[in-house]
Amino acid sequence: MLVLRSSPASPFGRKVKMAALELGLMDKIEIVAADTTDPNEVLREQNPLGKIPTLVLEDGVTLFDSRVIVDYLDHLAGGGKIIPAGEARFAQLRLQALADGIADAALLKVYEGRFRAETERSANWVAHQDGKVARGLAALEAAPPAFPDRPRIGEIALACALGYLDLRFAGA
């Protein structure tokens, strides 16, 4: 059994879970909560960066970063299922990168409020992240992705980024 270290609110953990569900692999994955702020959390031994998501393989080897994990899961499911080949591959990877960038910027805003004392918070830093989110959403609005019959990695990543914006910022 594979072990996915994540947390329910993580947009990147959610992306891995949605990909696994789409690939029919959820029954092969045990989801175990991880607390990235706990210095005694075993996650730091599983992933030297102490970040989620982290996938622990049956032989104990770990994969980290949602893009790597999703690529592995697609391979495990036979390949080409959610990460297509050819020209479609790069369109999907581009959409995934844009969606992940939006989620990254939103997460950095959350961390600014969570990990810095109020007197140390930077309005410029938050505005910089807001700009990334706004430009990313504007790019998507200007050229919306064409949704296929079955979601692929770009659409999955986008759903997770938009869901995270809804969760943390009421969609803004």
The domains found in the chain, sorted by start residue, are 2-76 (3.40.30.10), 86-169 (1.20.1050.10)
**pLDDT value of residue 6:** 98
3-state secondary structure of 55: strand
Q: What is residue 20's predicted lDDT score, i.e. its pLDDT? A: 98
Q: Residue 100's pLDDT is what?
A: 98
Residues in the chain: 172
Contacts of 60 (CB under 8 A, 6+ apart): none
pLDDT of residue 149: 87
| Residue 146: exposure state from Cβ atoms within 10 A (0-12, 13-18, ≥19) | exposed
Radius of gyration, CA atoms only, the chain = 17
pLDDT value of position 166: 96
Of the candidates 17, 60, 12, the one whose C-alpha atom is nearest the C-alpha of residue 36 is 12
**Which two three-digit tokens encode residue 41?**
């959390």
Longest dimension (CA), the chain: 51
Q: Which among 170, 165, 167, 156 has a CA at the least distance from the CA of 14?
A: 156
pLDDT of res. 147: 79
pTM value?
Answer: 0.95
pLDDT at 164: 97
The span from the CA of 47 to the CA of 167, in Å, is 26
Per-residue pLDDT at 146 = 86
Segments of the chain scoring below 50 in pLDDT: none
